[in-house]
Structure 1
């Protein structure tokens, strides 16, 4: 009869360590996000007030920007949170008591894995579902409130065999200024060039091109066709798609990335860029586990040394170096210099081996 009552006690340490780590990480994340929000508002408050959006505009911007900042700060929040948690437990002699009771470094790491995976899954969810929607809503709101959208930058994209250039986007994506379509055949040869002064969207009619000039390209000549006042544009794109295409490196969901890679959705990015982004996203939990491993050496701080030890500083530096190296490899993958697997996986392996080596050397002392 006593076995069921004692069974939950096996998970007391797991719940305690996971709870402490989650609390520290959430606290660090809140501080970092708060600092980044303040810096972002210092830069954007003037443009927001110039658009006469007032305090509500400032709050709208801060709210829509929150998921992006939170997702970006999760790795650093976990690193700092793990360092603070383990350092405090070590200096308070909690680690010495746990090790004396038979808890090994591997056992400690295993009990911290669930909390780390929860944070990793939260990061993947933010990156894959929440951030793309919030950033697209922010971009649409920012575009809709722009008093001079014609000053926006032009962009290119390909949809099937058609290459399209848009001068600028306005009205939250419902209006396009200066649309040029280059239609190609299956061999990639140019067939038609359609230049429209503008295009607008309505749910009833879809996209309509206005004031068209059409050039039909033959084998050796080009023929100007009669001008047209308007023409329906048979595109599968919606206003939010143009908001996404007009933004520089917008966050994309995995469904959108897969659609681009399969040719079902228009894209202005290379396949290598999309593949590297997809692979890095779903390796996020593994990256956090590596950061947790990098933070573990602080449990070897001698209690006498206390806060004078440089171990937390070295662990923090190693964690930041890991983040920087991963970012550099990802940039090289985006540029097409490295295949997507090489741009994401080697950094995980190298820093895992380095952290394990440090832990084994401390165990051997």
Structure 2
């Protein structure tokens, strides 16, 4: 098989791509299945206590699946690549390809397109599918909660206003213990509104009930008469309150950019949002690094076979890469590192390390 021929290159690219894709899909399905079982072991009792039955269990599993798949994708690529390369090495396929003139980095080049397809699919999953599914899951879970008063309170910024919500119910359509602090352009407090509850309808928008208000003028405060009902001039929808009530919900890039520009309410720091956005679009690069980490598997000695420790070392290195990325990201979320430092250095360090290992094996 000559590498100069376009047909063999096309056939080889298709063969390697399909081999990698099938193994990654298989590993992803297994990992997601295990994670679903663990999640259902924890949530089945609350679901049944809400009288949602088997349909509730299936609904929970379906809406949770995209989030679990997004989290399992890096490990699926690592294990899938290790399985493929180990099988090809032990079956002497790598030796045949080398005899035909294919180098190690030539093999890596053939695997890049499939890895990029998986990476960009992961970007779409993180950016579009997971935020919607988690939003639907949170709204469903809130709507079916028989004791929403046990939900936690939260703060958020909405333009020149700061608001505090006691808890949400009815899938975000009802709010309880609403406090709104209205500021002027310079940030000075102008008015405080306290409502016992608020509800949303498509015709009237948000309506505050049993409202007490205080106006602030310099050092003078004035308590105004209570109002039974008052319209709330806000563009927020119920699903946005569900998002704000969650700890760290997955966000689309459009939502993140809206928060960074001040067009959407937020209760997270700009550094957290910027790091999340940068990490999301570096997902294909992360998968390419994991593929590079798995590549030394092709150097398994023929006599060693399945007793070789090379795949184990590669798996450990890949897991270390994933852990280091997670630690740096956590430091970025906490504001200890700039977003770029929290996402890029791990890619560079592990890429250089993997290339060093490959060059050392090539010169033996």
Name 1:3's counterpart in structure 2. none
Is residue 323 of structure 2 the alignment partner of residue 319 of structure 1?
A: no
Equivalences for 1:198-277 in 2 at 5 Å? Answer: 198-277=197-276
User: Which position in structure 2 is the counterpart of 1:103?
Assistant: 102
CA deviation map 1:244-302 (0-9, x unaligned): 00011000000000000000000001000000000000000000000000000010011
Shift of 1:218: 2.0
Establish whether residue 141 from structure 1 lines up as the match of residue 140 from structure 2: yes
**Following the alignment from structure 1 to structure 2, what is the Cα–Cα distance between the partners of residues 89 and 173?**
53
Q: How does 1:1-365 map to 2 (within 5 A)?
A: 7-365=6-364
TM-score, normalised via structure 1 length: 0.98
Deviation at 1:9, TM superposition (A): 3.3
Distance across 1 between alignment mates of 2:183 and 2:173: 26
- Alpha-carbon offset, residue 7 of structure 1: 4.4
Indicate the SS of the match to 1:207.
strand
Moved over 2 A (4+): 6-10
Taking the aligned partners of 1:206 and 1:86, their CA distance within structure 2 comes to 58
- Alpha-carbon deviation of 1:235? 0.4
What's the RMSD between the two structures over aligned residues? 0.7
Q: How many aligned residue pairs are there?
A: 360
Deviation at 1:8, TM superposition (A): 3.5
3-state SS of paired residue (2:210): strand
- 2-structure distance, mates of 1:120, 1:187: 45
TM-score, with structure 2 as normaliser: 0.98
Residue aligned with 1:288, SS: helix
Structure 2, unpaired ranges of 5+: none
Give distance in 1, aligned partners of 2:157 and 2:98: 60
CA distance in 1, matches of 2:6, 2:72: 37
Counterpart-to-counterpart distance in 2, 1:358 and 1:150: 56
| Residues in 1 aligned to 2:217 and 2:336: alpha-carbon distance in whole angstroms | 38
Q: Which runs of 5+ in 1 are unaligned?
A: 1-5
Task: Give per-residue Cα distances to partners, 1:176-226, cap 9 Å, x unaligned.
Answer: 001000111122111111000000000000000000000111211221111
Moved more, 182-191 or 164-173: 182-191
Deviations 1:293-314 (A, max 9, x none): 0000010011110011111111
Q: CA deviation at 1:319?
A: 0.3
Once residues 236 and 266 of structure 1 are traced to their aligned partners in structure 2, the CA distance between those partners, rounded to angstroms, is 10
